[in-house]
Amino acid sequence: MLGDIAESIGRLAGSPVAGVAPLAGGCIGAVYRVTLEDGRALAAKVAGGLAVEGFMLRYLAENSRLPVPRVVHAGNDLLVMDFIETEGGIDRRAQVHAAELLADLHGITAEAFGFERATVIGGLEQPNPWTPGWLDFFRDQRLLFMGRQALDAGRLPGRLMKRLEAMAGRLDRWLEEPAAPSLLHGDMWTGNVLCREGRIAGFVDPAVYYGDAEIELAFATLFGTFGTPFFERYTELRPLRPGFFEERRDLYNLYPLLVHARLFGGSYVGSVERTVARFGC
């Protein structure tokens, strides 16, 4: 199989493949570093539905200043990109740089919430019908959609789904409409942030749409991706309304928790239940 993939990549890149090595990560599909005989290095991802991921990377490259890998080929089962060299983790300098990049990204707006097409997150469908109001979009296309996906997959108990539905029907108790829809990377966790020498070298695996920038910021805290240095710099550029850390962050993180509950079940279901309970449902 790898031999066939290498042959395809060589034809696409215009140079024979000299070597293929697996890369860490790749929760959804396998990822490889591909070295070409002409000295170039590419990253190849093998899975299903990769044409959408390639589309999202190209969209970010064409419509924002967010650093993303250049897409060489985006087929349904094979995504080939320029390889991004990394060195070091997300230190203080990288967090500051990330804050500047995301503040700039979130300044790109649209007339409604959603996107021009459905996208994916973690290999799962992410519907994005254009919707005038954020609360309606977040309720229907994020919380309830992913909750039902987890329910249908046998990951989320029916009683918890009913509690989620009750909470989703009262979002206006805790959320307000943002000033404008912001362009989002959409899957902001540590594994998708590539660093080199205290700078962000690139963001990968996007789940693009236009939404409330706070949902991106919340996701960035769920697995400890960014901390104080990031938020100090981000709020200098785009101040946050009071209550984000105290309340809205946990509410927004229900969506990535539901994604993980759908994919993996286990402790993520308990995390969903605790969050729903926190909001009185």
Assign residue 126 the CATH number of its domain. 3.90.1200.10
Same domain flag for 74 and 97: no
Give the model's pLDDT for residue 26. Answer: 56
201 within domain boundaries: yes
For the chain, the domain total comes to: 2
Give the model's pLDDT for residue 1. Answer: 47
User: Among candidates 154, 120, 147, 155, which has minimal Cα distance to 47?
Assistant: 120
Distances (CA, A) of 114 to 3, 17, 27, 64, 101: 40, 39, 26, 17, 21
87 within domain boundaries: no
Same domain flag for 103 and 39: no
Same domain flag for 110 and 51: no
Could you say which of 61, 82, 103 is where a domain stops? 82
Same domain flag for 51 and 154: no
Same domain flag for 58 and 137: no
Q: Identify whether 187 is a catalytic site residue.
A: yes
Contacts of 34 (CB under 8 A, 6+ apart): 6, 9, 17, 19, 20, 41, 42, 43, 44, 80, 83
Which residue of the set 91, 140, 187, 212 is catalytic? Answer: 187
Domain of residue 37, CATH code: 3.30.200.20
Q: Nearest 5°: phi and psi at 127?
A: -70, 145
Same domain flag for 123 and 209: yes
Same domain flag for 70 and 126: no
Distances (CA, A) of 29 to 32, 44, 99, 167, 198: 10, 10, 29, 34, 29
55 within domain boundaries: yes
Could you say which of 14, 47, 82 is where a domain stops? 82
Q: Are 68 and 201 in contact (CB under 8 A)?
A: no
Same domain flag for 107 and 160: yes
Same domain flag for 96 and 75: no
Task: Give the residue numbers spanning the domain of 42.
Answer: 2-82
Which residues in the chain come in under a pLDDT of 70? 1-3, 25-28
Burial state string for 48-76 with b = 16 or more CB within 10 A and e = fewer than 16:
ebbebbbbbbebbeeebebbbbebbbbee
Prediction pTM value = 0.95
SS3 185: coil
Same domain flag for 175 and 195: yes
Could you say which of 82, 108, 130 is where a domain stops? 82
Same domain flag for 158 and 244: yes
What is the DSSP track for 15-36? S-EEEEEE-S--SSSEEEEEEE
**Longest CA pairwise span in the chain (Å):** 60
Give the model's pLDDT for residue 111. Answer: 97
Same domain flag for 66 and 153: no
